Amino acid sequence: MNLDTAHDDVRHYYGEVLASSADLKTGACCPLEAMPAELRAMLGDLHPEVLERFYGCGSPLPPALDGMTVLDLGCGSGRDVYLLSRLVGEHGRVVGIDMTPAQLEVARRHQAWHAERYGHARSNVEFVDGQIEDLAACGIEDASVDVVVSNCVLNLAPDKQRVFAEIFRVLKPGGELYFSDVFADRRIPAALQADPVLRGECLSGALYTEDFRRLMAQVGCLDVRSVSQAPVPLLDPAIETVIGMVNFRSITMRAFKLPLEDRCEDYGQVATYRGTVPGAPHAFVLDDHHRFETGRPLRVCGNTFDMLGRSRYAAHFSLHGDTSVHYGLFDCAPGPAAVAATPAAACC
């Protein structure tokens, strides 16, 4: 698919076809009830126009962001940028990148309004007009970002490998990619991928989950974790007729810029959550099969040990062990605590 044509189609869809989330044809954008309560409470402090043009499919806002530099790829009208502005605090920084002028215009118009609302002496956010395939052209330097987030955007990118390569270039060592997107349970036929409405609705550009895993491996990330997921209802009968053979899910994924192994290996390591992540006094959820209850030691594989110990989460865990002795493959099946508390939805 030609990069420029694909970009023009997306710009047209988000700049001219859609005026608000009410214009979307499918249920890719999930109900607000599924958003974590502490984040939902913060929505009341966002400008209504920013909320009106929200087209995300999840809530890609990880914890422990105070003081961090966060990059939001395809920030649109800025809903997540402004939530992040509050979460990183006045000494943190948020950069939103988008290529649709109409979306950026709304985001920028309310910049001073949000800074004042949050009591920030000056705005800690910046919006850049650019393409997520070329973050260097957007002024984002190597290893300069703590956390990259994105909400329902990567499916729209015609060259996904370039986007993932750029993400891992700009992340600091131990930095985190945390994003929500629409995924498919199979590869989507090329003819449907070229359809501007199906693509604009975040369906026909959706990655097949196994191809996503392969793409991540190609850019050096061998272990990606799914945090939560929910089915995407197609709703529109015409859309159901042409693409209803595909099952779509909105999934929130997390990955770290770390030299991990391609399988979970057992070195007899143990992690205990200290209960210190703000807003999470009782448990820390790493993914859909790791829920760390406060004070309760959990045996973990080498990859999980590194995700916790070599990222910004390190201060919140007591970690025991090393890789000097190997006990074979680690059984990473969910423990009872994870099963009981698996989040049902990955939602806005």
Ligand X SMILES: C[S@@+](CC[C@H](N)C(=O)[O-])C[C@H]1O[C@@H](n2cnc3c(N)ncnc32)[C@H](O)[C@@H]1O
User: Which residues contribute to the site for ligand X (CB under 6 A)?
Assistant: 7, 10, 14, 54-56, 74-76, 79-80, 97-100, 103, 131-133, 151-153, 156-157, 202
Residue 28: how many other CB atoms lie within 10 Å: 24
Q: Rounded to 5 degrees, what angle do the CA atoms 254, 258, 263 make?
A: 75
276-293 burial: b if 16+ Cβ within 10 Å, else e: ebeebeebbbbbbbbbbb
- The residue type found at 32 is L
Q: Among residues 43 and 222, whose Cβ is nearest to ligand X?
A: 43
Can you read off the two tokens belonging to residue 306?
Answer: 């590194």
Q: Among residues 124 and 150, whose Cβ is nearest to ligand X?
A: 150
Q: Among residues 58 and 309, whose Cβ is nearest to ligand X?
A: 58
Half-sphere exposure of 165 (CA within 13 A, CB side): 8
Residue 31: how many other CB atoms lie within 10 Å: 11
Q: How far is the CB of 3 from ligand X (least distance, A)?
A: 9
Q: Among residues 153 and 346, whose Cβ is nearest to ligand X?
A: 153
Q: Among residues 81 and 260, whose Cβ is nearest to ligand X?
A: 81
Cα 127 to Cα 98: distance, rounded to the nearest angstrom:
8
Q: Which residues contact 348 (CB under 8 A, 6 or more apart)?
A: 29, 30, 31, 32, 34, 35, 54, 56, 57, 58, 59
Q: How far is the CB of 329 from ligand X (least distance, A)?
A: 38
Q: Among residues 61 and 255, whose Cβ is nearest to ligand X?
A: 61
Residue 247: how many other CB atoms lie within 10 Å: 12
Q: How far is the CB of 228 from ligand X (least distance, A)?
A: 16
Q: How far is the CB of 192 from ligand X (least distance, A)?
A: 18
Q: Among residues 45 and 322, whose Cβ is nearest to ligand X?
A: 45
Q: How far is the CB of 205 from ligand X (least distance, A)?
A: 9
Q: How far is the CB of 214 from ligand X (least distance, A)?
A: 21
Q: Among residues 97 and 258, whose Cβ is nearest to ligand X?
A: 97
Q: How far is the CB of 35 from ligand X (least distance, A)?
A: 12
Q: How far is the CB of 113 from ligand X (least distance, A)?
A: 18
Q: How far is the CB of 2 from ligand X (least distance, A)?
A: 13
Q: Among residues 131 and 303, whose Cβ is nearest to ligand X?
A: 131
Q: Which residues contact 61 (CB under 8 A, 6 or more apart)?
A: 39, 80, 83, 84, 87, 149, 178
Cα 78 to Cα 168: distance, rounded to the nearest angstrom:
23
